[in-house]
Structure 1
C-alpha cells in the first residue's frame, strides 16, 4: 500500500527515478482496483512533481493517470501551471488539464497563455482552452477584443475558436457586430474554419456579408477565407470588390478569385486590369488572369 507521507516537507516531492517508478506502479494499481483516494493531496502533489521527470514516457504516464483522476486533480494542476518554477512541470500540467477539460481552469490557462515565458506552456494552455470548448469562448473573445495583448496571443485565440467550431457559433454570431474591427476579423477567421467543416449552413453567409464590412482588415480576411474555401457563390461579391476604393481590398478580391479559379471571373478581371492604377494590384490581377486561363486550358485537355 502506497504511503505518500513517508517523508515530510519538500523532500517528499523530490523522488529518485526508482522511487518515481515505484510511485507510478502503486498509483496504477490503486486506479485499476478503484482504491485510489483523490482527496490525498500529498499523493497528487507527488504525481504532479513526477511530471518533471527527465523521461518523457514517465511524464506521459503520470499525465494520463492524473487525467483519469480528473477534476479532483485540477486545482493542484492549476497551481502548478501558475507557480511551478520548472517549465517541464508547467507544460505537463497544462497538457493534463487538456485531458481533464474542466472549465474551472479557464482563468489559470488564460493567464498562462498571456504571461508564461515558455512557448510550449502557452501553446498547451490554448490547447486546453480549445478542448474545454464553449465555456472558454468568452475568455478567448476577450483576448481578441483587448489592445493590451500581443498578436501571438490573439493568433492562438483565433485557432482555439476555430477548433471549438460550431459550439462557439452563438458567440461568434454576436461578435461579428463588435465595435472592434480586430474582433470582427478574428471572428471571420473562426467562422471560416466552421465553414470548412461544413457544420453550419449560415457560416458562408456571414463571410459574404463581411466583404462589405467598413474595415479593410475584415474585408480582406473574408475574401481570403472565401478564396481558400473555393466558394463559387461568392464570385459576384468578389467581382464587386475589384472596384473598391481601397487597394488592399481589391488585391484581396483578385487573390480570392484566383484561388477559386472559375472562368466566370476572367472578363471582370480583365476589365478591372484596364482601370487599375496601383502597381501591386495590377500584378495580382495579371497573375489571377494567367492562373485561371492556364487552369481552363488544363481542364479542356482532360
Structure 2
C-alpha cells in the first residue's frame, strides 16, 4: 500500500466508506484486521485515507463485512482504481498553487453524476463569465497577488469544462434574484454575465431556477450549497462555502437535511421559463 500525504477529500471518502461498512458489520479495527489477514494499524490508515487500497482489497473487505450492495461496492472499486490506473486530473497541476479545498471541489465535480447548487449573492462558479469572475476576485480580502489572482481565475474557468464533457452531469442551479442584481464590475460586465447565464440555460444538462425577492424567506438563506450526486446514493456529498473555507459533508443526516433544503428552495423558485424571463428583465434594466 502506498502512503499519500495529504489525502484528497475523495481519497478520505473512500476510507470513510470502508469504515462505515466495518461499523455496520459490528466489527472493531482489531476484529476486521484479523478477518483481512492484516494488522489493526493498516486498517486504520486505510480508513483515514493515509494509505491507498487496491481494488481487490476493497472487494475482499466488503465480502468480509458481508456487504451485498454490488452497485455500492463497484462504485468504491472505481474510486480505488482512479489514481492507480487513470492518473492525475487536470486540477492536480494546480496542487500547491491554489487551496486544497478547490482541488477537492474540482475532483468532486469531475466525478459527479448530478449537481444541485444554491447561490444567494454570487453566480454559480460553473456558470461564471470570465469578466464577472475577474470582478469577483477583485473583491477578495486580503487582496490577491497578481499571480494568485490569475491562477484562481484560470482554475475557476477550467472547472466549467465539466459541462462540456461527452457525458456531463445533470446540473440544477438555484439562484436568488439578489445574485442577478448585485453588480460585480461595470454594467457591461453585469450584462455579459446575465447573457452568459441565459446561454448556459440552453444546454440540455443545465437547469436554472430563480428565487425572486417576492417569496420572502427561505431555508439556508445565508449560505451557498452544492449537493453532488455520486454513482450511488451512499456516495453523495454536500459542499458548503463559509467565510473560512469549504466544508465537505457526507453523513446520512446531513445529506437528508440538505436534500430537504434544496427541495424546498426549488419548490419556491420560479419555473424555468419564468426564471429566464426574470434574467432577461434584469439584463434589460442595466
TM-score of the aligned structures, taking structure 1 as reference length:
0.31
Max radius of gyration: which structure? 1
TM-score of the aligned structures, taking structure 2 as reference length:
0.32
More strand by share: 2
Structure with more relative contact order (C-alpha pairs < 8 Å, separation 6 or more): 2
